[in-house]
Structure 1
Amino acid sequence: METSVQSAGSQPVATRLLLACGVIAPLLNSVVILILGAIRSGYNAWVVPDSNLELGEGGWIQSTNYIVTGALLLAFAIGMRLLLRTGRGSTWGPILLGIYGLTFIVTGPILPDPSLGYPPGASSALTIHGAIHILFGQLQFISLIAACFVLARRDAALERRGWSWYSVATGLLVAASDVAFVLTAKLLDGGPTGLIERIGIIGSGIWIALLAIRLMSKQSSIA
């Protein structure tokens, strides 16, 4: 069985700060999209995806949220790589989470096309920047799902089966929410697409935050 290269208690301050970004990032993203979705005039959080909050009055807030969240996730991935020196997932886990963070940074300034009635009266015709936004949105889901399974294999190898199954369950939840989101948007022309998407966002955010806490904890270190 692998042993820790460095215990959490002896982690450099810089590394711990980078790892702490993994707790802050999903909390920030979830709080912002929930608050904006609740107060934005004409926006129906039950139906409309969170990325549409980048459009309309005050859209800069959501764009900024994406960029800051992405930067925090990228910092977390760097801290994770500094800690996980050897073993399964020590390279690809941080890389995949780094890609996940970068997709947030990219989708910040590259706005989506209007869809599902928001903003009201706007054209939903596909544009180049809208297509790029969709492409990186799908890369976001794929990189996160892959990270879940990569780190599940690491935990399984370290005989931490509870955490391994939790990572697998999170990966399946994100995959299911993505597929259900696309099908609901296409087949039902709306429906609870916003709710379905938020279930995946919040579920995966909890997983990332717990992962970061585990990495900072001496008792629960997966390094």
Structure 2
Amino acid sequence: MTQQLPRPAARPISIKRPLLGFGVVAGPLYVSVALAQAFTREGFDLTRHPWSFLANGDLGWIQTANFVVTALATIACAAGLRRSLSPGRGAQWAPRLVGAFGAGMIGAAIFPADPAMGFPAGTPEGPGAITLSGILHLAIGGVGFLCMVAACYVMASRFAGEGRRGWAGYSRVTGTLFLGAFVGIASGGGVAWANLAFVAGILAIWSWLSLVSLKLFRDDA
């Protein structure tokens, strides 16, 4: 009788890499869709209007969908971070903070910003009427932004503990820049420098999430 050799144990399928992949693409997707609208929608001015205003008007559903899809990708990324970082420093808080940022985007989609400063086309100039939706949009968005700033610092601590000084410094700088950009637009909304600085901050924070996700994706290969 022929003796059968034992079959090799099946290698467990890891979902960390697909989840981290969502973090790689979330930022480029959000930025591409938002900028495409910013350059094509009538009356929108990057020096005066935050991207949240794009959720208003007949085509506002595009930015609302952009918020939701990007939020879901960010939350999936947070799940990937939890699996990739565990165990170790920041394994609990970094995913929670990134996930909270994603949840904040869903809240921002549910409660759109108030039309103001001439956008969408036909809206009177000036700050416009303040509604509960607009207040909740600012509050929820603000909490999400601060969570992302904190995530940068948590990951900086993680990288520093691993001796990755470059990544630690990059994370601290990104968190600080994004915090400064947020404070600037919160205190000087409608001012060109504040809006442009916030655009730069948005680009910086999404680039950071994409690059960190890509690094962890490759580390798990």
* 1:128-178 Cα deviation digits (max 9, x unpaired): 111100001101210000000001001111111110010000000101111
Q: What pairs up with 1:182-197 in 2 under 5 angstroms?
A: 182-185=186-189, 189-197=190-198
* 1:111-140 Cα deviation digits (max 9, x unpaired): 111123212443611111111000011012
Match of 2:151 among 138, 147, 153: 147
Runs of 4 or more off by more than 6 Å in structure 1? none
The two structures have a TM-score, normalised by structure 2, of 0.89
Residues 1:164 and 2:168 aligned together? yes
Specify which structure has the bigger relative contact order, considering alpha-carbon pairs within 8 angstroms and separated by 6 or more residues.
1
SS in 2 for 1:217: helix
Q: What pairs up with 1:53-202 in 2 under 5 angstroms?
A: 53-122=54-123, 124-185=128-189, 189-202=190-203
Task: Return the letter of the residue paired with 2:23.
Answer: G
Choose 1 or 2 for highest CA Rg: 2
Whole-Å Cα distance in 1 between the matches of residues 194 and 66 of structure 2? 21
SS in 2 for 1:164: helix
Whole-Å Cα distance in 1 between the matches of residues 24 and 195 of structure 2? 24
Counterpart in the other structure of 1:52: 53
Task: Return the letter of the residue paired with 1:217.
Answer: R
SS in 1 for 2:192: coil
Whole-Å Cα distance in 1 between the matches of residues 92 and 82 of structure 2? 7
Q: How far 1:13 sits from its partner (Å)?
A: 4.3
Any conservation in 1 of the 2:21–2:213 contact (CA below 8 Å)? Answer: yes
Q: How many residue pairs were aligned?
A: 207
The two structures have a TM-score, normalised by structure 1, of 0.88
Whole-Å Cα distance in 2 between the matches of residues 195 and 40 of structure 1? 18
Any conservation in 1 of the 2:49–2:195 contact (CA below 8 Å)? Answer: yes
Whole-Å Cα distance in 1 between the matches of residues 100 and 153 of structure 2? 15
Instruction: Calculate the aligned-residue CA RMSD, in Å.
Output: 1.6
* 1:164-222 Cα deviation digits (max 9, x unpaired): 0100000001011111112322xxx432443222111101111000000111113xx6x
- Residue identity (%): 34
Q: How far 1:45 sits from its partner (Å)?
A: 1.5
